[in-house]
Structure 1
Amino acid sequence: MDKIIEVQGINKTFLKRKTKETVTAVKDISFDVHRGEVLGLLGPNGAGKTSTIKMICGLLQPNSGAIYINGLDIRKKRLKALRHISAVLEGNRNLYWRLTVRENLEYFAGNRGLSRKEIAARVDQLIGQFRLKEKENELVNGLSRGMQQKLAIAVALLAETQAILLDEPTLGLDVEISYELREIIKTVAKEEQRTIIISSHDMPVVQELCDRTIIINKGTVVVDEKVENLLKLFETRAYSIKLCSELSPSQQKKLDVSFPLSTYKGSFRQPVVEVNLERSEDIYDLFDIFKAEGTVVESIDRTSIDFEQVFMEIVKGENNYAMA
């Protein structure tokens, strides 16, 4: 599969103003983005994800390493490279607030060297696709957050770039608008074969839309894998264990130490331990905790797991993630 974006060993450090201490935000990050795929670029706050996004968009320069967009080195041929990618960054939408919906689309198309006549049909199509027809002559600063976000994405699509980066596309939106945007993104990815990079803390969005995910933590890539494979892997490790009696405080302490990501739900009727076992043999250590005080296990079942749980397991787990 052809590569549209290549990130090769980038590093980024910052100097704290007060202490003059050097902070490493990104450490030797490498990955590729293929044409036509929907990629999730994820990471907890402070993990280096935002710095990576800004370097891909040309807003920051890496201290070392290289980024290629459609084969063009972004440091050597910045303007030509950036013509192949458009972005909607959270908190910095690509809109003019004192222009109307239609005027924004026409203005940003003009910035790309396109005339009104050339893009008239495409503007009409996007206004209809994003359900902005009733708002097309209203100023952007009078629109709701959801309408502004829809317009920002429409502007990014109008550029006809091969790759689109959407930073927190559903943040702060109501359920209806969020669902509408997800459907539009799916349509664009499938019918227009555009490459879409989604950065989001909304894990259901990632699970629904993304083919593959890259997770960055502590400045490095810790996962580069298909979403489907991650769900399958972690699902085989997730168990729900029903007990015949409650665990003692001593047992609960041992459980927290040996299985820090487990959940114990004490109940007089039905105590339950929910746990993800990283290795098959960990089941023996778990049952030793039960056996120590004669706790009887009533049943043990595999449980379903969603991508939010997968993400939390990866970024908070003490052991490094690795595919089985």
Structure 2
Amino acid sequence: MKPIIEVSNLHKTYKKRKSTESVTAVNNVSFTVHQGEILGLLGPNGAGKSTTIKMICGLIKPDEGNITIKGIDNQNKRLKALNHISAVLEGNRNIYWRLTVRENLEYFAGNRGKSRREVASKIDDLLEKFKLKEKENELVNRLSRGMQQKLAIAVAMLAETEVILLDEPTLGIDVETGYEVRELLRNIAKEYNRTIIISSHDMDVIQDLCDRTIIINNGKVVTNDRVENLLRLFEVRSYTITFENQLSNKQLFQLQQKFPQLDYTPDTLQPKLEVNLSNSNEIYELFDILHQEQTPIETIDRKTINFEEVFLKIVKGESSHELVQSN
């Protein structure tokens, strides 16, 4: 199946203020997005993620490269391409605060050329599904942050675009509403076959929702793989080992030389070693050092790792690009 979004060899350079120097924000970024998937588009601040998002949404033009949305070039045929994508930007910039909930839905549907009569039943359906029915005549500026965010997503749904891009969808909302928003997005992808792109610093959201994640750092794609693969990749190499006795100074020195990322807790009752292995063969080297003095091992546990740890390890360069790049 042809990807619904194709990003090819994007470059974007900005001139520094009050200087002749320039900075490269995006450097040869390429990836695809498939129909019906939930994709995480991630990166630390200043990595080029936001610039990439703005280029996908047609807000800025790339210096080189191109983007197609449902096969349509978003530079040469910008308006036609953008008819297939809606964006829910951070800060609730997608809704008008001085209109009611229903008026917002009617207004933005009108912007898409749809009459009130045409969208009336769809609005009723969205108000029910998003649990906004009781607030339909409430001014938006009186709603909670969570309800405003749900309304912004409902506005994007009413546009009936194949792709919805969300920037920080759970930022500033309470835990209960955060889980409610996650479930809404999951249902949107499944029931309506919509493609969802999520940009977020909340790694729990990415781990819970996304099928695949693309991580951009220093203007380049450093990871493009399924979330489950990345979790498995790091989990199998993170171990916690507890001992009956303390490690000797000689052992500890050898371990620190070989595994500089280790963490040793010389507890008198249960000494503990936490170590991350860069490849599976290193476990033999680890046990060779422990075997030198016949150190009694009490337990060996594979450490449970979350996606925030995976993200930080990749951004810090603790895993090679080839290791995590998906074909």
TM-score over 0.5 (shorter chain): yes
Deviation at 1:300, TM superposition (A): 2.1
| Partner SS, residue 29 of structure 2 | strand
Determine the structure 1 residue equivalent to 2:8: 8
Determine the structure 1 residue equivalent to 2:125: 125
AA at the equivalent of 2:192: E
Determine the structure 2 residue equivalent to 1:167: 167
AA at the equivalent of 1:137: N
Matched, 1:243 2:243: yes
- Structure-to-structure mapping, 1:70-109, within 5 angstroms: 70-91=70-91, 93-109=93-109
Out of 246-255 and 72-81, give the one that drifted further: 246-255
Q: For the Cα contact (< 8 Å) 1:14–1:22, is it kept in 2? A: yes
CA distance in 1 between partners of 2:67 and 2:5 (Å): 7
Deviation at 1:291, TM superposition (A): 6.7
TM-score, normalisation: structure 2: 0.91
CA distance in 1 between partners of 2:101 and 2:191 (Å): 24
CA distance in 1 between partners of 2:249 and 2:111 (Å): 66
Out of 255-264 and 198-207, give the one that drifted further: 255-264
Determine the structure 2 residue equivalent to 1:63: 63
Q: For the Cα contact (< 8 Å) 2:37–2:189, is it kept in 1? A: yes
Structure 1 pair 22–224 and aligned structure 2 pair: CA distance change class (3 A): same
Determine the structure 2 residue equivalent to 1:313: 313
Structure 1 pair 291–170 and aligned structure 2 pair: CA distance change class (3 A): same
Determine the structure 2 residue equivalent to 1:181: 181
Determine the structure 1 residue equivalent to 2:233: 233
| Partner SS, residue 93 of structure 1 | coil
Matched, 1:54 2:54: yes
Once the two structures are superposed, residues 213-268 of structure 1 have per-residue CA deviations (whole angstroms, 9 ceiling, x without a partner) of 11111111111111122222222212111133456788767756644544444422
Deviation at 1:274, TM superposition (A): 2.1
CA distance in 2 between partners of 1:77 and 1:253 (Å): 62
CA distance in 1 between partners of 2:261 and 2:102 (Å): 50
Structure 1 pair 266–316 and aligned structure 2 pair: CA distance change class (3 A): farther
- Structure-to-structure mapping, 1:152-231, within 5 angstroms: 152-231=152-231
Deviation at 1:91, TM superposition (A): 2.5
Structure 1 pair 257–142 and aligned structure 2 pair: CA distance change class (3 A): farther
CA distance in 1 between partners of 2:254 and 2:321 (Å): 23
Out of 106-115 and 204-213, give the one that drifted further: 204-213
Deviation at 1:13, TM superposition (A): 1.2
Determine the structure 1 residue equivalent to 2:25: 25
CA distance in 1 between partners of 2:205 and 2:176 (Å): 13
| Partner SS, residue 3 of structure 1 | coil
Identical-residue share of aligned pairs (%): 64
AA at the equivalent of 1:103: E
Determine the structure 1 residue equivalent to 2:114: 114
Q: For the Cα contact (< 8 Å) 2:92–2:149, is it kept in 1? A: no
Out of 283-292 and 54-63, give the one that drifted further: 283-292
AA at the equivalent of 1:271: P
Structure 1 pair 256–222 and aligned structure 2 pair: CA distance change class (3 A): farther
Q: For the Cα contact (< 8 Å) 1:261–1:313, is it kept in 2? A: no
Out of 248-257 and 91-100, give the one that drifted further: 248-257
TM-score, normalisation: structure 1: 0.92
Q: Which runs of 5+ in 2 are unaligned?
A: none
Structure 1 pair 25–92 and aligned structure 2 pair: CA distance change class (3 A): farther
Once the two structures are superposed, residues 282-301 of structure 1 have per-residue CA deviations (whole angstroms, 9 ceiling, x without a partner) of 23454566578886543322
RMSD over aligned Cα, in angstroms?
2.3
AA at the equivalent of 2:187: T
AA at the equivalent of 1:131: K
Q: For the Cα contact (< 8 Å) 2:92–2:148, is it kept in 1? A: no
| Partner SS, residue 149 of structure 1 | helix
Out of 112-121 and 36-45, give the one that drifted further: 36-45
Determine the structure 2 residue equivalent to 1:138: 138
Structure 1 pair 185–260 and aligned structure 2 pair: CA distance change class (3 A): farther
Once the two structures are superposed, residues 169-191 of structure 1 have per-residue CA deviations (whole angstroms, 9 ceiling, x without a partner) of 01111111001001111111111
AA at the equivalent of 1:159: A
Q: Which runs of 5+ in 1 are unaligned?
A: none
